[in-house]
A and B are shown apart, each in its own frame.
Chain A
Amino acid sequence: SAQFVPPYTEDCRTDMYPPNGPTFKGPVKWYTIDLDLPPSKRWTAVISDKKNDLVDMIQAIRDLADAFVPSGRLIELVDIALPLMVDTLPNPFREEIKGIAAVSGVPLGEVVLFNIFYEVFTV
């Protein structure tokens, strides 16, 4: 049947809700972002919780960059150039990004890259 040859188009699914079974990998946790806090403090709770996962994901992007440019120059460029760019970004995003880098310990340039990835990825 169509389900076993690309694009593996299935018959329309039914009774998948409430989410269950092999296509459901888990619920999503809620956090509050207090917009009354200074921008650099807003993401502290979220990033403290997700720090290891964020570091893990950034490392995967680094590994990818090193696969393209084994000399490591691409990451160097990110770590040197993008922090210069962060001060051109509008607030509150600029201060929020700096706060995320401070709490997570991820280099500022890499947090900037993560946040402008949509525009970068169009390359």
Chain B
Amino acid sequence: CTSVVAQDEKGKLLHGRNLDFGLFLGWDVKNKSWAISEKLKPLVVNLNFKRNNQTVFKSTNFAGYVGMLTGIKPHIFTLTMNERFSLDGGYIGILEWILGQRDGMWMSFLTRSVLENANSYDEAKSLLAQTKMLAPAYFILGGNQTGQGCIITRSRELSIDVLEIDVKLGRWYVLETNYDHWKEPFFLDDRRTPAMKCLNQTTQANISVKTLYDVLSTKPVLNKLTTYTTLMQVSEGTLESYIRDCPNPCMPW
């Protein structure tokens, strides 16, 4: 996965993401594609969660999956999550759960609860940073004020790091793939470098929904695991999603 929160020169925040899933879950040699990724694409849906006929939040989901991976609380915050690999992983959380230790939250139920119940960027941020979980994860959160964009690096128990947008330091966007931002990505899976190259080439003056989609359409940020691309604008309250394909030659991940 690749998630980006960017702030344009007017202080407007944009949030984009590629949802890549299905690694090692069956390679279709004939079609040069991942079996599960192709099966997930027809399941992609945009959802408008309403209460008293008012929109509470909107999301892009795989039908049948009740948790959240991509969502917007219109005019308040935007949220995506990327997978984080750690030896202290979800299987330990599941074992603890089975053995009766149930003080942690399942990752996608936490994101759903935050989108449904949090009413500010700061509230969402503290819930995502402090709630004990069953598995590690990266939460990428965008707010509705300038400077409100961050990557929360989570272990199961703790918030390991929070990287914020800081325009004074020249950091007008935060970008997360699937590696801790203070470490080099795995050399065979470096989607960070090409994404940063294209964002820097775009410049803050020209970042927009259009150019953000261009970045998320550049190989290997776009790859054979990419099922959908979502673009969100918190100030407009809009979420738009597109099902993707990666024509050959294209990286398997």
Contacts and interface: CB of A to CB of B under 8 A. Distances in A.
B18 to A, nearest CB: 11
B131 interface: no
A85 B50 contact: no
Contact of B251 (A6, A28, A96): A6
Nearest to A104: B64
A71 interface: no
A119 B93 contact: yes
Secondary structure dominating the interface of A: mixed
Contacts, number: 210
Interface size of A as a range: 35 or more
Given A22-B245, A64-B25, A53 B42 contact: yes
A16 interface: yes
Contact of A13 (B109, B214, B220): B214
Contacts of B43: 50, 53-54, 57
Nearest to A111: B64
B219 interface: yes
B3 interface: no
A43 B63 CA distance: 9
Given A7-B220, A122-B85, A29 B50 contact: no
Contacts of B176: none
A70 to B, nearest CB: 15
Nearest to A59: B39
A17 B213 contact: yes
Interface in B113-164: 116, 134-137
B82 to A, nearest CB: 11
B241 interface: yes
B75 interface: no
Interface in A5-58: 6-17, 19, 22-36, 43, 46-47, 49-50, 53-54, 56-57
Nearest to A123: B91
A122 B133 CA distance: 13
B249 A120 contact: no
Contacts of B25: 61, 64
Contacts of B108: 115, 118
Interface in A90-123: 90, 92-93, 96-97, 100, 104, 106, 111, 114-116, 118-123
Contact of A12 (B41, B102, B201): B201
Interface stretch (B7-15, B166-174, B190-198): B190-198
Interface of B: 25-26, 35-36, 39-52, 56, 60, 63-67, 83, 85-86, 89-91, 93-94, 97-98, 102, 106-109, 112, 116, 134-137, 188, 190, 194, 197-198, 201-202, 209-211, 213-215, 217-220, 222, 228-229, 241-247, 249-251
What are the 6 A-B residue pairs with the smallest beta carbon separation, nearest first? A119-B90, A122-B89, A122-B90, A12-B198, A50-B63, A57-B39
Interface of A: 3-4, 6-17, 19, 22-36, 43, 46-47, 49-50, 53-54, 56-57, 60-61, 63-64, 67, 85, 88-90, 92-93, 96-97, 100, 104, 106, 111, 114-116, 118-123
19 contacts: A9-B194, A12-B202, A12-B214, A13-B215, A14-B214, A23-B244, A23-B247, A25-B243, A28-B243, A30-B47, A31-B45, A32-B47, A54-B43, A54-B63, A61-B25, A90-B109, A115-B108, A119-B135, A122-B85
